[in-house]
Amino acid sequence: MKTKAGFVALIGKPNAGKSTLLNTLLNAHLALVSHKANATRKLMKCIVPFKDKEGYESQIVFLDTPGLHHQEKLLNQCMLSQALKAMGDAELCVFLASVHDDLKGYEEFLSLCQKPHILAVSKIDTATHKQVLQKLQEYQQYASQFLALVPLSAKKSQNLNALLECISKHLSPSAWLFEKDLMSDEKMRDIYKEIIRESLFDFLSDEIPYESDVMIDKFIEEERIDKVYAHIIVEKESQKKIVIGKNGVNIKRIGTNARLKMQEVGEKKVFLNLQVIAQKSWSKEEKSLQKLGYIYQRNRD
């Protein structure tokens, strides 16, 4: 069997649709998806097998990254450093840009990335044919910079094979890097954490999800049930009250929604215990961020 394998960094501005694309390619709910921008905070490996036209069995290891953005808060700097690290580690990059975005995001990416890359224009199902053609024409001025220009829709599964074919074409022949049926090398407790975070984005107002995080205190994995004990961290006591809600209505919604998604992903029953704590300025303190698993790659230049 002829095989290829390689790491592919999936890069884009916040809300370009990176996680939606990966979940569609995997046919599984692993990456955090939200209609709110900047939901993804950490690097996640998602493994997609693909047989290309040349007969190669490719193992494409996508590095799902936080959206490219610049803010002074230390948490946001950690997120940006994760995206930059992925670009450095990858053999190939895919820059995903919404069909509705201007060209500034891609121009910023060009200033940061030294690796060969594919430019993918997403969400084409939300634009007219004329608008899509116009956007593709605008990107043609950078034709010497990218390997290929691929319009696609993850939601409608349009042109996804074309993207995978293009990626496989530019990967080097190699033995597979992971076991055949593995979709991610993430631990289940980390996937569960992201599912709880996603529920915060689903049920809470704009400010709170961005000023909150989740810590798994205890994770017990049994044959028929997983038991998860976690706490939600917010910055203010007023936010804690909102997360809990009157008579606990909000925390019950968040917990039920998260538990059902966990059971779907883990394919077994889940017991979930959620607590809420207020910790002032956690997103600005390096020690607090390290406890939550964030790594800040300092610039040593």
Each as own residue / partner, the long-range contacts of residues 85-88 (CB below 8 Å, 24 or more positions apart, any chain) are: 85/43, 85/297, 86/9, 86/11, 86/43, 87/9, 87/11, 87/112, 87/113, 87/114, 87/115
Domains belonging to the chain, first-starting first, are 3-169 (3.40.50.300), 188-291 (3.30.300.20)
Given a cut of 50, whether residue 156 has pLDDT beyond it is yes
pLDDT for the residue numbered 35 = 47
Asked if 158 contacts 125 with a C-beta cutoff of 8 angstroms, the reply is yes
Mean pLDDT of the chain: 87
Q: Which residue has the tokens 């992971």?
A: 178
pLDDT for the residue numbered 86 = 74
Dist CA 98 CA 139 (whole Å): 12
Helix (H, G, I), strand (E, B) or coil at 101: coil
Given a cut of 90, whether residue 277 has pLDDT beyond it is yes
Dist CA 171 CA 144 (whole Å): 19
pLDDT for the residue numbered 43 = 72
Mean pLDDT of 81-99: 85
Mean pLDDT of 88-99: 92
pLDDT for the residue numbered 27 = 82
**pLDDT tens for each residue of 94-132:** 999 999 999 999 998 998 888 999 999 999 999 999 999
Side-chain-side CA neighbours of residue 190 (13 Å) = 14
Residue with more model confidence, 115 or 83: 115
**pLDDT tens for each residue of 197-223:** 889 988 887 678 778 899 999 999 999
Confidence of residue 75 (pLDDT cuts 50, 70, 90): low
Dist CA 289 CA 283 (whole Å): 6
**pLDDT tens for each residue of 15-51:** 788 888 988 998 865 555 444 444 555 678 889 999 9
Given a cut of 70, whether residue 77 has pLDDT beyond it is no
Given a cut of 60, whether residue 196 has pLDDT beyond it is yes
Confidence of residue 190 (pLDDT cuts 50, 70, 90): confident
Mean pLDDT of 48-75: 81
pLDDT for the residue numbered 71 = 58
Percentage of the residues of the chain whose pLDDT score is greater than 90: 58
Residue with more model confidence, 112 or 61: 61
pLDDT for the residue numbered 67 = 62
Sequence ranges of the binding site for GTP? 12-19, 64-68, 122-125
Angle, nearest 10°, between helix axes 249-266 and 237-244?
70
Sequence ranges of the binding site? 12-19, 64-68, 122-125
Entry pTM: 0.76
